[in-house]
Amino acid sequence: MNLIEIIKQAFNKQLKNNFSLDDATIKTFSFDLNVDPAKQQFGDINSNAAMILAKILKRSPREIAQQICDTFSHDSIKKIELAGPGFLNLHLTSQAFKALVEELLTTQKDFFKLPESIEKKRFNIEFVSANPTGPLHLGHGRGGIIGDVLSNILNFIGHHATKEFYINDAGAQIQKLGKSFKIRCQQATGKNIPMPEDGYQGEYLINLANEAITQNGASFAKEKQEILGDYAKKKMLAQLKTTLQNYGITFDVWFSEKTLHTSGAVDAAFKILDQRGYLFEKDGALWFKSTAFGDDKDRVVRKSSGDLTYVASDIAYMENKVERGFDKMILILGHDHHSYGVRLEGLRKALDLKASLQIILYQLVKMKADGQQVRMSKRAGNIVTLEGVIQEVGTDVARFFYLNRKADAQLEFDLDLALKKTDENPVYYIQYAYVRIGSILQKASLIDAFANITTQDTAPIGQQEEFLIKKIVALKQVLSTISTTYNTHQLTYYLIELANVFHSYYSKNRVIDEENIEKSRARLLLLTQLRIVFELSLDLLGISKPQKM
């Protein structure tokens, strides 16, 4: 347990005893490091405990806050002040800052992981899961980076997260792919056969057909539609995997929807729902009583034609995830799947699955180039592909730009900004901070006076250094918060702020000063830890760490 957690525990314990509180109430109190550069006069740690207690105890928040100020004490707290209507501002001692630096340098990256006392969970994170009927487009990049970074963070702090891609390789879309590809193959042999309006129009299928006919001969176009569809599906799936690898994403599991049908898992799930009274027949179709769980209407799971809907597979798929031992199921979908989340939660409850389900919805992605929005049309086959974005701006920039906005906010991908090699580009700005710190440390290592810097080199530390320490320590809270809210954009925000704090600090302070060895050694010690935090954050984001720029 680190020093901040120890102080928080002591603070909560005293409040619990003084006001006879239960653990649930204690958990509602904030206890946050103050890392706002404009509000450093308001202490190092802020808490709203008195404000929360006022509602429970029916007392004045300032009266409660004053009582806490008068009674709470800790060796690491210099003073505690009352502010505004009842906020509490705690000021750390200089010794507390030194202790934090020593702890950071001793534990290194382990400092930012969850305490051993917190129960670790098994997460299944399903994301992208695009139909293998065409290339990944612009929007897939957003769901991909959210899922990948969330998995990285959960795994790092101590949970176990599995990255999973659900392959929609059964149903109408694969049949349509086979029909479209067969027509493209026939066209490649010179036949004048029009593509249906609802067929896959993209040029990618024309290229694939030309390649197939070149390799296999004109007779290939005479193969059965099912065979051609399977051929195209495998080729498109291979392309999806390549694009995702180029994007820095490697999945742990590629799960085939088809296996749920061939294994009998769908029929078994139907049987469970039927026994519990959640299935009924109407107009020759089989329905799930989705309205019993808050949905706006009941949903068809098997059509009158005998064809199964997407929901049918999802029933068995959730069962499968629970059978594999996952505690939490996270599914990342585009914003237009809002009602689908309600449907899945209803199915989870109907099946009485113990694992929780969380749907993360992300908004549309729009691309802007030369000040104009880039138009995209699936039907016309005019698609801005994810592979094209990666090739244009690079993996680092693509990943960061896709993540640098809250998921439920619309994202505008500014191509002109992404291509800039200046401080305006946040990726360049952050990587330059990392390179700059490395350069300073390398230069210092060549000077005898700055050799063998250890945790003993923590003094003297001034207010600027104290703020830098708090900003470094704050990463722990950022990662912990992401692990419960799943708001992965907070890491990009943090990293931009950290780069800004470093660049500002370096412009105001001479780090390597042979006329002030003691102060320089203390500052170099901090930069050593700062570089570790940049390294960790960039790794979690899947962004490279250049040595030179």
Q: Distance between CA atoms of 253 and 108, rounded to whole angstroms?
A: 31
Q: For the chain, what is the mean pLDDT? A: 93
Tally of CB atoms within 10 A around 327: 16
Average pLDDT over every residue of 33-56: 94
Does domain 426-541 bear CATH number 3.40.50.300? Answer: no
Who has greater pLDDT, 405 or 338? 405
Q: What is the pLDDT of residue 383?
A: 63
Q: Checking DSSP bridges between strand 32-33 and strand 45-47, what pairing results, if any?
A: antiparallel
The model carries a pTM of: 0.93
Average pLDDT over every residue of 173-194: 94
Average pLDDT over every residue of 105-118: 91
State pLDDT tens for residues 385-416: 899 999 999 999 999 999 999 999 999 999 89
Answer yes or no: are the C-beta atoms of 125 and 109 closer than 8 Å: no
C-alpha 282, offset from chain centre: 42
Pick the CATH number of 3-92 from 3.90.1150.10, 3.30.1360.70, 3.40.1790.10, 3.40.50.12280: 3.30.1360.70
With H, G, I as helix, E, B as strand and everything else as coil, classify residue 77: strand
**Phi, psi angles (nearest 5°) of residue 31:** -155, 80
What ranges do the domains of the chain cover? 3-92, 365-415, 426-541
Q: What is the pLDDT of residue 48?
A: 95
| Token pair in block for residue 37 | 């550069």
**For helices 61-71 and 49-57, angle between their N-to-C axes, nearest 10 degrees:** 120
State pLDDT tens for residues 466-503: 999 999 999 999 999 999 999 999 999 999 999 999 99
State pLDDT tens for residues 12-35: 999 999 999 999 999 999 999 999
Q: What is the pLDDT of residue 379?
A: 43
Q: What is the DSSP string of 27-56?
A: TTS--EE---GGGGGG-SEEE-HHHHHHHH
